[in-house]
Structure 1
């Protein structure tokens, strides 16, 4: 029986001599095994790889297990008078270890215990958990060994990876994953299993699309920085804006023909760069953003003209259109278990009219020039002419709303 965790051995007698414990824990390997016909506990650390032995049979005064679910516990020995404080342990491994220690203390049913050889620990077993690892060449990439389970930051660049190594997705403590400068074409849907991931860098790969599964995963609650620059992306998933914790989004040097329709839902986003794409117009939701910096340089934006419009209105409005508008306006819950799946898809793309009401499939669409300073403190010039304006879509639920908008444009001298 072995357990790897942090250990601090506290001598309860030191205060009587006016001395204090150091109060520092060390990475250690704990083993329960036989020594001279008695069950003992061996604690090996990096400073003492041979380890210190403690008798267990009838020698445990008390177990403190209030915080086992956090990977913590304390074993109080009678002789010597020490408290063995365990932390940062695997929860299931800790529970099994404590059960084995109880059996060893009682001296009963010891035949069922998986005893270990009380031998010095290997250096790698008692090293402090590695939290950061950087691999910048293919020759350094681990093929026969696993990544350290304790990693919080992992960078694997210039290794010509064509896919994400599934071993990376078992690193549950990972907060930053940098896979830039590889040949990755697709992301596995299980990348969302990295529940603590706040930063994902995929700069300069061969990505052609992102899956809906990524947007529906636990990354919704954790991902803050996403770098998808220098890939082959043409569109982003319709549910992309469910990643509502995003603060920094980089989309430069792709083939994007449009930004996410509901980009205004990314209320925490402060930095957006989508330079050198194929954007001709920005979605209407773009007006809801509140950014610190925006960079849209090098896109073939069309010249906005409110008189140029596309009419998708039907007269009279269909019963389906009226119903879908009511669902949005009244915030009625819906889903594929309530209404047909294809209608759920249409509701994903409802548009907001200037009057405040919704329109779904029946609307008038135009584009109006907007100064990007209205949504961002700092604006990188849109073109070489020093412009900071870009066309933004506008939608109208009826001819009345469109005519009122055009009247206001005439009054303000806008085109």
Structure 2
């Protein structure tokens, strides 16, 4: 691990929660896997992407600021964006490579310029804040161009942690959805990106789609005055990342197949289609960068049917991260998922509490999206049914924040049955906040 003492190296652990018992002929095995990262120095460790001391930064960040014409209405929105970017720059750790990009229908470098990154210290932070005075609103919106420039800048640093922060206030109207999709596919795995929508004139699915593809967070800042605090929190979180490019590796035996792999806490994110093969019967699922934190994953594996009394290893879970040398290696953290066939009906029909909790949380995110989409299309009957189901699930899981957001969109008649009435007049910010935060979950008490 370079020159880091062993005690400062981040340590991963894996815990598996499941009911391993299946009835005769049963095939689907479900498990919740909790991955925790502890310890560390509070700064990225040495890795394949870092050079020897003095040779390169340990992290790189690019801040992308929407400067399209709509950012001048109201006038304070652009000022708030400048203040927020300045606050984020102020939260940069010394030694971190960084740049600021202005985004319209094209992307341009605000600081430092010349297709390069600056290295954060008191002087460069002050220069960057001064350069923000040049930010002004005018032009269209083509977010893919911003991301492509950020990718070029970040790749020049060869840092183990590569992160973007993106702010937009409008819809991506000056490039095709296909072009943005292609950009996200090209950037996936190269850097993570947090995306924020300010005001209420942007498209939720665009912003959340960007964050999802690039394994970052998405949120709404309905009042531009709240941007500085939000940007500061985002940058502080990014500065706490210590290990980049961590993969969840899943090995399954002959005859078994992976049904799905989903992150279920702190947010719901389906990773199933992001698998890359990693040798015989093993696949890697990207999880992005890690600091001191814990996340939960729901894994479902389909095994060959067997008779009562048989048992097998259904899957083995491990983690991979870039080591100090070249290539990628597994960490010592591992977990085993088992299948045991029994004729004990009580054992085989019992649902593990963690699996049940997160199955409900994943459904909650889905029915909120379905309910809001139905409301937009004028299908009030479907919207009422879906959002009523969401109310029931939110209360059952103890997800108080989502329950509060739902209460701004519906009048709750009966929580137990999910009986609600749609509110006729709902603030656009309340609908967008519910949609943007619909994938946020609460953890089950273990």
Does TM-score exceed 0.5, indicating one fold?
Answer: no
* Higher Rg: 1
Q: Which has the higher helix share?
A: 2
* Greater relative contact order, per chain length (Cα 8 Å cut-off, separation 6+): 2
After TM superposition, the score normalised by the length of structure 2 is 0.27
